[in-house]
Structure 1
Amino acid sequence: MKSFILLMLLIFSSSALSCSCYSEAISYEEELNRYDAIFMASAMNVERMPGDWSSGFYKTEMKVDKVYRNKGIPRTVFIKTALENNSCGGPAPTIQSHYLVFAHKTDDGIYETGGCSTFMNIDQVNSELKSASAEEKAEWQSMLADIWSALGNPIVIYGK
């Protein structure tokens, strides 16, 4: 149960805690199966699309390194993330940072994050772990190990 709660905290990251996110999944595998795509990628270009807090978004070009779900994901994809923390969004993606992306595909072919899906800056997590307490570090490392185990081996690995 502790692992499931930690998974939910990860999936509904701190930027999304103010949202109304709820999952009935009882295992990592069930939660992972809810997404159209799961992949590791680096942010190459970020563009803020016009609109207010409810209609604007960041459109980020991502260079995909590893695919864990949906082997049809091309080497380069565009993802859409909400602008504001209070609308399940967050800060703009950071160019050249590495992300673990859990996304749903929109009708216009863009993968969408936010609104309760994971868009985790792996570089930021690794940086924050350096200053975490031993207890926090152990919890995060255990949770991350469980997630990587649930993801399994990538189904596609793109060359550098």
Structure 2
Amino acid sequence: MRIFLIVFILLLSRTSYSCSCIPLGEIDDEQYNEYEAIFSGKVIAIKKKQWTKEVTFEIQIRFKGIQKLSQIVITTSAQEGTCGISPKVGEQWLIFAYRENEKLQTSLCTRTKSMNKKAWNYNKDELQKDIEFLNRKIRG
């Protein structure tokens, strides 16, 4: 009976994924140079696909790249378990995006972070340090 139960459970189980990222430490020029686009923006739309989400942002402050756009679509994995961000319409985010497969993408393993104080991973000090660094970069 016990063997039957174990086999039954194994047959029902699905593949699971978990997000695991290398700690990034404080932002520096090397990390800054890894990203094609950096901006703060407000989420205005989310289009869910099978494996990804396309998040449309209204750009508020441009720190790098995307100089002439007022809106931009950023792709992320559909689930946090596969390192996708989980924005909600109306939220403010600081986005660090890289180009892959002709699309700008981000993940939990980048410096991307919610600016919402109620977010599970909100870190005021880290957010402030990132923004101070980025402001210094755009001032030259």
Report the TM-score, using the length of structure 2 for normalisation: 0.70
Aligned partner of 1:158 in structure 2 is none
What is the deviation of 1:112?
0.2
Query: Quick one: distance in 2 between partners of 1:85 and 1:114?
Result: 9
What is the deviation of 1:117?
1.5
Map Cα deviations across residues 13-32 of structure 1 (whole Å, 9 max, x no partner).
xxxx8324366x88522212
| Pairs within 5 Å for 1:7-156 | 18-21=19-22, 28-50=28-50, 56-72=51-67, 74-91=69-86, 93-108=87-102, 110-114=103-107, 116-123=109-116, 126-127=117-118, 140-152=123-135, 155=138
Q: SS where residue 18 of structure 1 aligns?
A: coil
Report the TM-score, using the length of structure 1 for normalisation: 0.62
Query: Quick one: distance in 1 between partners of 2:26 and 2:136?
Result: 22
What is the deviation of 1:144?
2.9
- Gapped regions of structure 2 (runs ≥ 5): 1-17
Map Cα deviations across residues 56-75 of structure 1 (whole Å, 9 max, x no partner).
10111111011111153511
Q: SS where residue 40 of structure 2 aligns?
A: strand
Map Cα deviations across residues 115-137 of structure 1 (whole Å, 9 max, x no partner).
622331212xx2369xxxxxxx9
**More relative contact order, 1 or 2 (CA 8 Å, 6+ apart):** 1
Map Cα deviations across residues 37-86 of structure 1 (whole Å, 9 max, x no partner).
11001111101012xxxxx1011111101111115351111010111222
Once the two structures are aligned, what percentage of the paired residues are identical?
Answer: 16
Q: SS where residue 152 of structure 1 aligns?
A: helix
What is the deviation of 1:100?
0.3
Q: SS where residue 111 of structure 1 aligns?
A: strand
- Gapped regions of structure 1 (runs ≥ 5): 1-16, 51-55, 130-136, 156-160
After superposing on structure 2, the runs of 4+ consecutive aligned residues of structure 1 that deviate more than 4 Å are none
Query: Quick one: distance in 2 between partners of 1:82 and 1:121?
Result: 16
Alpha carbons of 1:73 and 1:101: their partners in 2 closer, same or farther (altered >3 Å)?
Answer: farther
- Contact 1:43–1:98 under 8 Å retained in 2: yes
